[in-house]
Structure 1
Amino acid sequence: MGMKDKFQDQAGQRQQQANDKTGESREKAGQRSSQQRERSSQQRDRARQDIDDTRDEMEDRFNQDYDA
């Protein structure tokens, strides 16, 4: 194997490693993105539930005040 071939092989290997790492990074970013969407969806659901609970409490208090 000549010196030129040796360096071309190393360059090819490094290029492949870089491509592999890029693919892994994209995969991880996609996973993080989906987790963030899921978390924000859960937060919105909790906020809606809190609003509904508060509305129900206020309505109950109103009814108690005017029932007495």
Structure 2
Amino acid sequence: MGMKDQFQEKARGMQEQGKQKAGEVREKAGQRGQQSPQRGQQPRERGRQDIDDTEREMQDRFSEDYDA
């Protein structure tokens, strides 16, 4: 086997490893994608609650500063 053949064989092996690694990464990304809606809902709910709390605080401060 010549040098060129050895190099090509090594390149094929590295390509195959790359394809396997890419498949694993895609699989993991797919699993995360399935889980993200469950996790994603909690921050949105908390975020909405924070906004509501902030609005209430602003109204309370306004009411205290500008009593009618």
Normalised by the shorter chain, which TM-score bucket? 0.5 to 0.7
Query: Which structure 2 residues correspond to residues 27-66 of structure 1 after superposition, within 5 A?
Result: 27-40=27-40, 43=42
Scaled by the length of structure 1, the TM-score of the pair is: 0.55
**CA distance in 2 between partners of 1:12 and 1:23 (Å):** 17
RMSD: 2.1
Q: Paired residues, what number?
A: 45
Sequence identity percentage? 53
Q: Return 5+ residue gaps in structure 2 as ranges.
A: 46-68
Q: Deviations over 1:39-63 (max 9, x none)?
A: 346x4xx9xxxxxxxxxxxxxxxxx
> Which amino acid in the other structure matches residue 28 of structure 1?
K
Structure 1 runs of 4+ with >6 Å offset = none
Corresponding position of 2:21: 21
Scaled by the length of structure 2, the TM-score of the pair is: 0.55
Q: Deviations over 1:2-44 (max 9, x none)?
A: 1111000000000010111000000000000101123346x4x
Q: Return 5+ residue gaps in structure 1 as ranges.
A: 47-68
> Which amino acid in the other structure matches residue 10 of structure 1?
K
